[in-house]
Structure 1
Amino acid sequence: MEGYLHLSNGVKYKGDFAIEAKVKEVKGEIVFFTGMTGYQEVLTDPSYKDQIIVFTYPLIGNYGINKEDFESKQPHVAGVIVYESNSEAYHYQAEYSLQDYLNKWDIPMLTHVDTRSIVKNIRQSGSMPAVMTAEKEITSNTFSLKEDGKVAKVSDKNFKTYGQGEYHIVLVDFGKKESMLTALLERECKVTVVPYNTEFTSIKSLQPDGILLSNGPGDPKELEGILPTIKALITHYPTLGICLGHQLAALALGAETTKLSFGHRGANHPVMDRKKKRVIMSSQNHSYVVKEESLTATGCEARFYNLHDGSVEGLSHSMYPLQTVQFHPEANPGPSEGCYVFDEFIEDVKANNGRVFAYA
């Protein structure tokens, strides 16, 4: 069945809906992912909540969907666009084909679209509202999007504890990936996952040894109401911020964030670690970055830089045991060259030796 992708800048693309029975109109911010593999992790990453994802690799779906690589219990994207999708799955672990999995969750996929042209358009005009529909023509008011409240939709609603490790880490869930939890459990941690808006006193009562501020969707400035809690956590416990958690930590200490034109999404982004004087390849998924010029008087210093555009990819602090990264050290999908960030965090936890100490 014919389908159409309408971009808010007036450009239209024609394609085919992969599953006729599930054709429906969906809208969302359109973004692109440059990895050759990892579509299962992308679909189930809560940071992609309500976005339309364009996969740049021309053939998606060869190895199907398995039970091992989910980053959450369900997909979060609004829609999927590919040049070609394989309707079969060719891997011994596959439980579903990509099409069957999306069909199960009622997520439309548009195929036989010129994804190269779409990506060029996004790179020129920036990420923008888009609509997938069977209608050849739509009205301009169709593009209106409700962009707020995404974190509340994907954050756990209850406290949950995992593992019996020596170090107790509280993971503040803004839309965490399961592989972050796994990375902590593999490092002999007991992990308590708490909702994104949990009060400082409630977290303190858990007697954590450290704090992880997770990834998540949307604009970090929408969460200004919880910045005092984040600052209190930073000034009392060793803290690691990842992606949205990195941005929120920076905001809590007085820095500023801004939106990139089309963001960083892929499994092949080179990042410079100034401390170790080495370059790592990283997995990325974000639209917003910390403005380096706003770090003055925050005590933060840029440690990591994106070598494509020079944007800040991570911070350290002159006084607090705080480190943050914009990229995903847990990978999934992508390279795990940045996993030493978790090891450094655990070393900070060990050095603090369970003390609750207000630095400010």
Structure 2
Amino acid sequence: MKALLALEDGTLFPGRSFTGPAEAVGEVVFNTSMSGYQEVLTDPSYCGQMVTMTYPLMGNYGVNDEDVESDRIQVRAFLVREYQEYPSNWRSKGSLAEYLTAAGIPGLEGIDTRALTRHLRVSGAMRGALSTRDLDPHSLVEKARQAPDMLGLDLVREVTCRRPMLWTEGNPSPIEGGLEGFRWPERPGAWRVVAMDFGVKYNILRSLAQRGCTILMVPADTPGALIDRLDPDGLFLSNGPGDPAAVTYGIASIRDQLGKRPIFGICLGHQLIGLALGGTSFKLKFGHRGGNQPVQDLTTGKVEITSQNHGFCVDMGSLAEKDVEVTHVNLNDGTLEGLVHKRIPLFSVQYHPEASPGPHDAAYLFDRFIALMKRHRNPKPQP
């Protein structure tokens, strides 16, 4: 079935749908990973975006029930060079086309993904519209221009949990009766962690749980006063989509929590920490998305191969007078990738240590959070 992708600058990319009739709009971005398309599709940080993969073959190993990072597909569309119709893998439970179609998400193949990626690198990520119904270039370009601009867009409200959840046996579970009268499960030696859900990836929660954490997920607009009442050993700030400057409620809660307990932020959580500390953020030209981003740890000199997915960045210069030490930088463009506060128990990174492209280059960050909670843990009263 013929399809057309139109960018807001008038550039056109013809292709064909492998998921049936469809129409969608969103910011068009590219990801340089060679595999992991199911993780990409279900990553909440991609909410509002149409993703093209630079690796040409997609769908070859199908989909399964384990490789998901949230409870649903998050992308607005999936753009590939060549779709593999017949998957071959012992873990496969179905095809990529079936997976996308069941969720109502368009899948386009035959797109010149190399040309599209080069165009986005030169001109920057931009809004796009795709359709199998409307193949008129002028009409489709106008639809792209009418799509919401990512700058200033709060997408966290679309992906955060609607009510508090406990991470139990590898899945989020609703809390009976909510937080009224909530008591932490009795697990001797466990670390009590409140995770502010700005669009958290499941593998982050798995990584914390593997290190003995009891994790309470709370909505992104949870106020600091409620976190105080929950009295966790540590506060985790998750990844998520959109412009961090638009998440004013999250910034306010984080600012309230500064210095009260150890805080660890990843991706959007890192950006929100920067803003809560008085810094500023800016939109990257085409973002960092893929599993091959080189980051240097300035404290050791070591280089980590990292997985990343973000389109905004904290301005390093804006934190110069904020008692903040820069710990990590991106070796491709020199942007800020990690920070630690000099006086309070707080650190954050822009990249995803749980995604393990290195494969274990950045796993120490979760251990650092555990060590920070151990150092600052207050004895809990016995029930």
Give the TM-score range, shorter chain.
over 0.9
The 1-side partners of 2:337 and 2:154 are apart by: 25
Pair 1:335–1:136, CA change in 2 (3 A): farther
Which residue is 2:173 aligned to?
none
Cα deviation, residue 276, structure 1: 2.1
State whether residues 19 and 101 of structure 2, in contact with CA within 8 Å, keep that contact through their aligned partners in structure 1. Answer: yes
State whether residues 282 and 336 of structure 1, in contact with CA within 8 Å, keep that contact through their aligned partners in structure 2. Answer: no
State whether residues 48 and 217 of structure 1, in contact with CA within 8 Å, keep that contact through their aligned partners in structure 2. Answer: yes
Out of 374, 379, 382, the position equivalent to 1:350 is: 374
- 1:102-117 map, 5 Å: 102-117=100-115
Which residue is 1:145 aligned to?
147
The 2-side partners of 1:161 and 1:355 are apart by: 22
Cα deviation, residue 161, structure 1: 1.9
Cα deviation, residue 50, structure 1: 1.9
State the AA in 1 paired with 2:123: S
Which residue is 1:28 aligned to?
26
CA offset digits 1:234-260 (Å, max 9, x no partner) = 221100010000000010000111110
State the AA in 2 paired with 1:6: A
- 1:1-360 map, 5 Å: 1-20=1-20, 23-134=21-132, 135-139=135-139, 140-143=141-144, 144-146=146-148, 147=150, 148-162=153-167, 164=187, 166-331=190-355, 335-354=359-378
After TM superposition, the score normalised by the length of structure 1 is 0.95
Pair 1:66–1:128, CA change in 2 (3 A): same
CA offset digits 1:190-236 (Å, max 9, x no partner) = 11000000011111111100000000000000012332210122221
State the AA in 1 paired with 2:75: V
Cα deviation, residue 334, structure 1: 6.8
State whether residues 270 and 306 of structure 1, in contact with CA within 8 Å, keep that contact through their aligned partners in structure 2. Answer: yes
The 2-side partners of 1:253 and 1:203 are apart by: 19
State whether residues 8 and 142 of structure 2, in contact with CA within 8 Å, keep that contact through their aligned partners in structure 1. Answer: no
- Percent of residue pairs identical: 40
State whether residues 175 and 214 of structure 1, in contact with CA within 8 Å, keep that contact through their aligned partners in structure 2. Answer: yes
The 2-side partners of 1:333 and 1:32 are apart by: 17
Listed as ranges, the gaps of 5+ residues in structure 1 are none
Cα-Cα RMSD: 1.5
Size of the aligned set, in residue pairs, is: 354
After TM superposition, the score normalised by the length of structure 2 is 0.90
State whether residues 154 and 247 of structure 2, in contact with CA within 8 Å, keep that contact through their aligned partners in structure 1. Answer: no
- For the residue of structure 1 that corresponds to 2:13, the secondary structure is strand
The 2-side partners of 1:52 and 1:336 are apart by: 29
The 2-side partners of 1:316 and 1:268 are apart by: 24
